[in-house]
Structure 1
Amino acid sequence: MPTGVALRDVREQLFDAAERILLRDGPSALTSRAVTIEAGCAKGVLHRHFADFDAFLAELVLDRADRVSGQAAALRDSAGTGTVVGNLAEALTELFGSVAVAIVALVTFRDEVRARLRERWPVGVPVLTEAGTMIASYLAAERDLGRIAADAEIDVLAPTLIGAGHLLFADRKGAPPEAEAVEKVVTTVLAGALR
């Protein structure tokens, strides 16, 4: 008689389970038992694939940061189409409507995860750092197309948009901000740079 369900991609199944718990209950609810129960597998499965639970959480953060690069390509490809404000508002909503805000809370909450991340990611919070790079790359493409001022301080605008976006979406329990609120923030931040 089988003792469990066959796992196709164990890491991804565990990461998805951890993300659901993180979004639903916050970082304090993340335990190896909670993750394996959510994933529908035995607790030993997690420990067969990761040295310990903090190693698992650090890999989760890095995996979710890697996902931003797919979004970055799509945003960069949108340069010259639609509106700059619309493209950025959509990108921020996609970014912060996902697990990004919860990842910041996780990294802040767990000292050991932060220490492990520093071994491979020496500066910043992985998801937010990748997001900043994504926004800066897009703004540079729009500047090259003349839709952003040639003298725009992209290295200031990108983190400002990330910080403002994070603050808009930071209330995990409340309703996400309306599209108009996100667009208003983007418009305000880019007011002097839009052409």
Structure 2
Amino acid sequence: MPTGVAIRDAREQLFDAAERVLLRAGPSALTSRSVTTEAGCAKGVLHRHFADFDDFLAELVRNRITRLDARAAVLYDAAGTGTVADNLTEVLRDLFGSVAVAIVGLITSRDDLRARLRRTTPAGIPILTEAAAAIAAYLTAERALGRITADADVDTLAPTLIGTGHMLFADRKATPPEAATVHRVVTAVIAGVVTRPGTPNR
């Protein structure tokens, strides 16, 4: 394998390679060698860009959190359109249909990684914590529009939806749940707070 390969956007190439290894073989298979082999570059490329492998993994998680920010903005802008259940179903399928479940497994399996991530996510599980915040912001917007009740506890509903979604998608090797299954669960969680059109917000 070449030892001095100059890679355009090397960080992103390494992140993408790590995701493929993670999805294919799980957290235990994720090593600096497996990542650079998957990326088709020399092992030294990773160490030129990151202090060590845990630094690389921490940046991988932070990078995916940044991507989540863009998805959160789309969800927030969806407030007042479609149905609340449809919007939440879509975001949960998008979140957990990607690499979030695998990354959560990675975080929980590596003590050093969790310690590093505490600097930017001091509470909760990174990615899931940020996803819950995004859903809470969306539900707050829907509450302001009167599409969920004024007394809806969005700070409880959001992590409930995230936890439920994670349970549905948690088996990495199983077929992901169908949209109808996710929609049914979302509908059950928010049933008590969704208002009917023309119903005064209480």
Shift of 1:66: 1.3
Shift in Å at residue 6 of structure 1? Answer: 3.7
What is aligned with 1:186? Answer: 186
Q: How far 1:121 sits from its partner (Å)?
A: 2.0
Is there any run of 5+ residues in structure 1 with no aligned partner, and where?
none
Q: Work out the CA distance in 2 between the residues paired with 1:37 and 1:3.
A: 12
**Take 1:74 and 1:120, find their aligned partners in 2: how far apart are those partners?**
23
Q: How many residues align?
A: 194
1:51 maps to what in 2?
51
1:33-72 counterparts in 2 under 5 A? 33-72=33-72
Matched, 1:151 2:151: yes
Per the alignment, residue 131 of structure 1 pairs with 131
Paired AA for residue 72 in structure 1: A
What's the TM-score once normalised by structure 1's chain length? 0.97
TM-score by length of 2: 0.93
Amino acid corresponding to residue 190 of structure 1 in structure 2:
I
Percent of aligned positions that are identical: 70
How many angstroms does 1:36 deviate by? 0.2
Task: State the match for 1:88 in structure 2.
Answer: 88
Distance across 2 between alignment mates of 1:58 and 1:6: 23
Between 1:76-85 and 1:112-121, the stretch displaced more is: 112-121
1:120, distance to aligned residue in structure 2 (A): 2.6
How far does residue 5 in structure 1 lie from its aligned partner after superposition? Answer: 5.0
Report the alpha carbon displacement of residue 193 of structure 1 after superposing the two structures with TM.
0.4
* 1:80-116 deviation per Cα after TM superposition (whole angstroms, max 9, x unaligned): 1111000000000000001110111000111111111
Task: Give the 4+ runs in structure 1 shifted more than 4 A.
Answer: 2-5
Deviation at 1:126, TM superposition (A): 1.5
Alpha-carbon separation, structure 2, partners of 1:119 and 1:138: 26
Structure 1 position 20 matched with structure 2 position 20: yes
Q: Which moved more, 1:117-126 or 1:8-17?
A: 117-126
